[in-house]
């Protein structure tokens, strides 16, 4: 079992935007995230701790301006917290081990896939291509990642 945690080294390697999003609960501007249009097979892991969060097979185009997923690849790695900032009541999504701010979850996702939309900042994620998953220690998640035809 892998050990996922926040380290000083991981924090020091973050760009200013990644730090702001993950550690200060920031939000990247819509439509600007590097992973928004990514359609490659693989998994998305916490940029700070490396814990697996989402699979490419659960990613979809929601039109909201941020990468959207129907569910976490490993529900135990995602914490959902009530967020009352900005005069709204929303559900914030954070990584369990890295305590990184990821984004928010809403109940307006595809009904046929559970009805949830995990709206996630690209700055909080690192993409691991399916071809690299085994070598990077994520081989156990290969069955959950569909190959692109």
Residues involved in catalysis? 119
Q: What is the dihedral of CA 1, 15, 23, 25, to 10 degrees?
A: -120
User: Could you give the CA distance from residue 28 to residue 116 in angstroms, rounded to a whole number?
Assistant: 21
Find how far residue 70's CA is from the centre of its chain: 11
Helix (DSSP H) and strand (DSSP E) numbers for the chain: 3, 9
User: Could you give the CA distance from residue 54 to residue 42 in angstroms, rounded to a whole number?
Assistant: 9
User: Could you give the CA distance from residue 27 to residue 70 in angstroms, rounded to a whole number?
Assistant: 20
Give the pair of three-digit tokens for residue 146: 């569909």
């Amino acid at each position: 079992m892998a050990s996922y945690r926040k380290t000083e080294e991981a924090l020091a390697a973050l760009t200013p935007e990644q730090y702001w999003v993950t550690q200060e609960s920031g939000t990247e501007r819509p439509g600007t995230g590097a992973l928004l249009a990514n359609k490659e097979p693989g998994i998305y892991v916490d940029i700070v701790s490396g814990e697996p969060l989402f699979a490419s097979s659960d990613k979809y185009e929601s039109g909201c301006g941020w990468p959207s997923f129907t569910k976490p690849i490993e529900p135990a790695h995602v914490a959902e917290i009530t967020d009352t900032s900005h005069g709204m009541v929303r559900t914030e999504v954070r990584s369990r081990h890295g305590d990184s701010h990821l984004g928010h979850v809403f109940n307006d996702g595809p009904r046929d896939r559970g009805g949830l939309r995990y709206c996630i900042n690209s700055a909080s994620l690192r993409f691991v291509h399916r071809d690299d998953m085994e070598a990077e220690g994520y081989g156990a998640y290969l069955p959950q990642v569909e190959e692109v035809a």
